[in-house]
């Protein structure tokens, strides 16, 4: 195998794979067809179980650039094989993030392998076609002066891989963060919105913004279930027993298998339908987007593409995509993704001034490093904050299966194989049984030939030894147990679309939970505080709201070091932060929309001691740079900003334990 024909997809990532290119060979297809006929269909079964054999027997190796079929192999410990058909679509341009007016026109170089003036079949047998039908044709007609470009791609596990001529390889087109643009550039060049033409053009590449869980037909599920090697062996055993006039046991096995298979298919189908309905519950909503001409247009969320500027409504919404906030603040419930029921505050993406030092302050945007400014798909925006005259805007970063919710659904639809010692031992045990059956098979043949037994009897009795040694009723017995377990799980609201994994639970003897609130009480109470001053500990004090403590800088830190907010007049946030703040006795005040409209920025949140204790000037709890001269420090392992307005310009900072 030539190294130059071997490509690597997703290098350094969890889904890293090797890729080889193949071209369909007609004479090989004919030979394989004859082989299927000669073997009574057994060769077809073998090719179904071994996709790499299917490709190598029906295709010839070629460069990845000219491939009609790609053969992929995962680079993890399982080394699984996948195959995908390379397709070609027509588009009026080759880069979704470039304006159509700036891309190559009809003067495209003839040597460009993915551009042509028409849409004839390619030399390697591909037939070009517009993506998504009429939208591409409409765009091509609208830009008649532009040379239609042929874009090569393939789809694997709900992810599209596009051919990139610059790197001579296929790459995933995830979203706006692929551009590796800085925060200031995102504000400057991507916060105005897209035109209607730009949106339609990008949709050719990114597709419809939906996480579509396709529900397989009953026939497809049935075929997948019965083509299991164990069921094929069971069918062989039943035929053999019938030839030996061993009808009763054969009928019993067939009856058990039919019942278990039908029940399994029904259960899996039902789980798929439930997953589809659960994912699609909020997939199609109406959203408002900003156009490049400053107009606001209401569209369906399925039409969103990376680069669209979405207006977040003040009464909240379910996010239909991953988007980064460029103006305003949101309070978001991310329990769907993280399991945490506590709402979190999302602030707008920093926009450094060009004259500032940009090495650290203006890094390349990505959803992981800037998750405090990113609204993830499927999360619930509870409330927005803004000042009058301004909208809360977010730039769409990822759509469909590329979003955080999409990745979660993909992990459910395409789970990794389980690599447990139980499975390895089970397969080893079956191999030992096969070896014993092989020895008995050979011994029986030799002994029967020596005794001059008829050939028909020799074949039936020798094969009968294999069916006795390797239990053909094993799949039916396992399916019956799995279906019963699924029913028990269903009663407590647990669903599974990969039933075979239920067997693994039988060996679990210890369960570990990673956080408080899973089995223990939900929340904590503050017993007391122990201050540190001048390098020494004070005695512990149970009440932090005593008069001598309430005005102390220590309690001021406790009252300001948090991310609490008010939702419908009630304090909301991390339970530990909530208990700590309540223990101080201080009061949190947030500016109303009317108060905010009097200023050119969002007013900061203010916390005050009780009025009866004659407090000093208010302290300020702030998550963004609202004023200059804010002090940064780390308290309780959370980075915050703190300003104490008092009689001295200096403040002592303490670390809370």
Assess whether 473 and 549 both reside in one domain: no
Q: Is residue 212 part of a domain?
A: no
pLDDT of residue 135: 59
pLDDT of residue 639: 42
Tell me how far apart the alpha carbons of residues 325 and 187 are, in angstroms, rounded to a whole number. 10
Q: How many domains does the chain have?
A: 4
Assess whether 556 and 425 both reside in one domain: no
Tell me how far apart the alpha carbons of residues 288 and 631 are, in angstroms, rounded to a whole number. 38
pLDDT of residue 104: 45
Q: Is residue 88 part of a domain?
A: yes
The CATH number given to whatever domain includes residue 398 is 2.70.150.10
Of 492, 507, 522, the one marking the end of a domain is: 507
Assess whether 170 and 154 both reside in one domain: yes
Active-site annotation holder among 295, 359, 514, 625: 514
pLDDT of residue 595: 59
pLDDT of residue 161: 92
Assess whether 306 and 409 both reside in one domain: yes
Assess whether 126 and 265 both reside in one domain: no
Assess whether 547 and 454 both reside in one domain: no
Assess whether 499 and 608 both reside in one domain: no
Task: Give the domain range for residue 66.
Answer: 3-178
Q: On the CB side of 169, how many CA atoms lie within 13 Å of its CA?
A: 15
pLDDT of residue 134: 53
Three-state DSSP class for residue 564: coil
Q: Is residue 166 part of a domain?
A: yes
Of 380, 413, 446, the one marking the end of a domain is: 413
Contact 128, 87 (CB under 8 A): no
Runs of H (alpha helix) within 244-347: 247-279, 335-338
Assess whether 89 and 131 both reside in one domain: yes
pLDDT of residue 34: 93
User: DSSP letters of 87-152?
Assistant: EEEEES-S-TTS-GGGS--TT--TT-TTB-SS-PPPTTS---EETTTHHHHHHHHHTTTSPPEEEE
Assess whether 28 and 122 both reside in one domain: yes
**Known active-site residue 525:** no
Q: Is residue 217 part of a domain?
A: no
Assess whether 268 and 132 both reside in one domain: no
Of 413, 431, 457, the one marking the end of a domain is: 413
- Which single residue is written with the structure tokens 């949101």? 330
Q: Which two tokens stand for residue 286?
A: 């109406």
Q: Is residue 654 part of a domain?
A: no
Assess whether 8 and 51 both reside in one domain: yes
pLDDT of residue 86: 92
Three-state DSSP class for residue 356: coil
Q: On the CB side of 544, how many CA atoms lie within 13 Å of its CA?
A: 23
pLDDT of residue 612: 61
Q: State which H helix or E strand residue 296 sits in.
A: strand 296-300
Name beta bridge partners: 606: 589, 620
Assess whether 126 and 247 both reside in one domain: no
Q: Is residue 67 part of a domain?
A: yes
Block mean pLDDT (10 aa), the chain, length 657: 70 87 91 90 88 90 90 87 89 78 45 37 45 56 68 90 88 84 85 85 88 88 85 84 84 84 85 84 82 84 90 86 89 79 82 57 80 89 75 90 89 80 77 85 85 82 79 74 82 74 77 60 71 78 67 78 75 77 80 58 71 54 39 37 43 39
**What pTM, to 2 d.p., does this model score?**
0.70
Helix count and strand count (H, E) for the chain: 19, 29
Q: Is residue 657 part of a domain?
A: no
pLDDT of residue 652: 41
Q: Is residue 615 part of a domain?
A: yes
């Amino acid at each position: 195998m030539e190294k130059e024909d071997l490509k690597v997809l997703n290098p350094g990532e969890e889904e890293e794979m090797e890729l080889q290119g193949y071209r369909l060979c007609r004479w090989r297809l004919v030979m394989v067809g004859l082989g299927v006929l000669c073997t009574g269909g057994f060769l077809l079964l073998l090719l179904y179980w071994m996709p790499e054999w299917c490709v190598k027997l029906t295709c010839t190796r070629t460069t990845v650039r000219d491939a009609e079929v790609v053969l992929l192999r995962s680079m993890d410990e399982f080394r699984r094989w996948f195959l995908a058909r390379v397709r070609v679509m027509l588009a009026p341009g080759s880069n979704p993030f470039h304006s159509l007016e700036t891309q190559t026109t009809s003067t495209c170089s003839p040597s460009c392998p993915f551009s042509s003036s028409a849409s004839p079949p390619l030399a390697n047998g591909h037939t070009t076609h517009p993506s998504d039908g009429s939208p591409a044709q409409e765009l091509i007609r609208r830009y008649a002066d532009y040379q239609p470009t042929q874009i090569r791609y393939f789809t694997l596990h709900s992810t599209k891989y596009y051919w990139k001529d610059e790197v001579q390889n296929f790459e995933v087109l995830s979203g706006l963060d692929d551009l590796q643009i800085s925060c200031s550039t995102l504000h400057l060049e991507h916060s105005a919105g897209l035109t209607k033409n730009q949106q339609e053009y990008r949709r050719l590449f990114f597709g419809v913004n939906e996480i579509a869980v396709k529900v397989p037909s009953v026939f497809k599920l049935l075929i997948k279930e019965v083509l299991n090697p164990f069921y094929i062996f069971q069918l062989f055993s039943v035929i053999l027993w019938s030839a030996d006039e061993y009808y009763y046991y054969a009928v019993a096995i067939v009856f058990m298998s039919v019942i278990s298979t039908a029940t399994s298919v029904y259960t899996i189908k039902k789980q798929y339908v439930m997953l589809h309905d659960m994912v699609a519950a909020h997939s199609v909503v109406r959203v408002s987007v900003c156009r490049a001409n400053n107009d606001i247009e209401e569209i369906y969320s399925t039409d969103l593409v990376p680069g669209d500027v979405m207006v977040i409504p003040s009464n909240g919404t379910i996010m239909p995509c991953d988007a980064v906030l460029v103006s305003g603040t949101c309070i978001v419930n991310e329990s769907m993704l993280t399991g945490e029921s506590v709402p979190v505050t999302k602030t707008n993406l920093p926009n450094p001034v060009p004259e500032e030092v940009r090495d650290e302050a203006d890094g390349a945007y990505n959803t992981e490093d800037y998750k405090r400014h990113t609204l993830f798909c499927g999360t619930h925006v509870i409330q927005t904050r803004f000042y009058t005259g301004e909208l809360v805007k977010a730039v769409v970063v990822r759509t469909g299966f590329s979003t955080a919710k999409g990745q979660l659904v993909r992990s459910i639809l395409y789970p990794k194989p389980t690599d447990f010692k139980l499975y390895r031992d089970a397969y080893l045990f079956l191999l030992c049984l096969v070896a014993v059956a092989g020895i008995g098979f050979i011994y029986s043949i030799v002994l029967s030939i020596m005794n001059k037994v008829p050939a028909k009897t020799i074949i039936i009795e020798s094969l009968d030894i294999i069916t006795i040694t390797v239990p053909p009723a094993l799949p039916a017995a396992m399916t019956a147990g799995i279906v019963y377990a699924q029913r028990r799980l269903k009663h407590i609201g647990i669903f599974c679309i990969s039933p075979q994994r239920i067997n693994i639970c039988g060996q679990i003897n210890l369960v570990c939970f990673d956080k408080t609130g899973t089995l223990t009480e939900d929340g904590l109470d503050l017993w007391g505080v122990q201050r540190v001053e001048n390098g020494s500990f004070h005695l512990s004090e149970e009440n932090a709201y005593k008069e001598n403590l309430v005005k102390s800088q220590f309690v001021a830190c406790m009252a300001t070091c948090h991310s609490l907010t008010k939702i419908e007049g009630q304090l909301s946030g991390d339970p530990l932060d909530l208990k700590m703040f309540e223990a101080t006795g201080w009061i949190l005040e947030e500016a109303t929309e009317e108060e905010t409209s009097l200023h050119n920025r969002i007013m900061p949140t203010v916390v005050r001691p009780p009025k009866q204790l004659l407090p000093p000037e208010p302290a300020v709890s702030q998550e963004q740079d609202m004023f200059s001269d804010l002090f940064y420090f780390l308290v309780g392992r959370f980075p915050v900003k703190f300003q104490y307005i008092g009689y001295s310009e200096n403040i002592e900072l303490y670390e809370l334990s």
